[in-house]
Amino acid sequence: MPLLTDDLRARVGEIRAYTAAEPLSRASIRYYAAAVGDANPLYTDRDRARAVGWADVIAPPTLLCDSNQYLGGTERDADGFAGHSWGIEPPNCRMVRGGNDYVFHRPAYPDDVVTVTWRLADISERTSGAGQEMLIVTSEATFTDQHGTLLLVNTETIIHIALGEVDA
């Protein structure tokens, strides 16, 4: 049975947008930098950030790409995950991350109230070199601030790999 059904194919182009309940905040920026182990003062010292032309401390570039703060954490799935999901779960498959392409336009500041617009950009099917069927889901997340200024675009690839033996 093909992984790529007509129902799934019809979903390409779907859009979901979320707006954070509050500004990103200095605390979130400091917490993320501390968790990564990145001591760069650009993330914690306003004077050092201003010295290189930024308006305030900036967020480490990958913070917005990976944080689910904009969703608020009130809804978790059975895996404990509280981020955006299309709910695409082909039967008898395991999910792996393929990769990401982050394009940054301007660093995020503590006062930014972020809106994230997810678009289901593409769903395709492929057979791996080992003969496993794979469903490849590509999503594009566009991040803007409360004035509509573009912060970044994250294009993300998720791969669902069929489990078990492949029929001859």
Partner 1 sequence: MTAIEAGTELPPLQRAVTLTDMVAYAGATWDWHRLHYDPGYLAERGLSAPVVDGQMLAALLAEQAQDALGPSAFLRRLQFRFRNLVFAGETVRCTARVTACEGLADGTALVTLAASVGVVGADARVAVAPAHLEVHVR
Query: How does DSSP classify residue 50?
Result: H
Q: d(Cα 155, Cα 144) in Å, to the nearest integer?
A: 15
Q: d(Cα 116, Cα 118) in Å, to the nearest integer?
A: 6
13 or 99, CB closer to partner 1? 99
17 or 158, CB closer to partner 1? 158
Q: Is the dihedral of CA 17, 125, 166, 2 positive or negative?
A: positive
Q: Minimum distance from CB of 5 to partner 1 (Å)?
A: 25
Residue ranges binding partner 1 (CB under 8 A): 28, 31-32, 34-38, 40-42, 48, 51-53, 60-63, 65-69, 71, 73, 76, 79-83, 96-104, 107
Q: Minimum distance from CB of 82 to partner 1 (Å)?
A: 6
25 or 117, CB closer to partner 1? 25
Query: How does DSSP classify residue 73?
Result: T
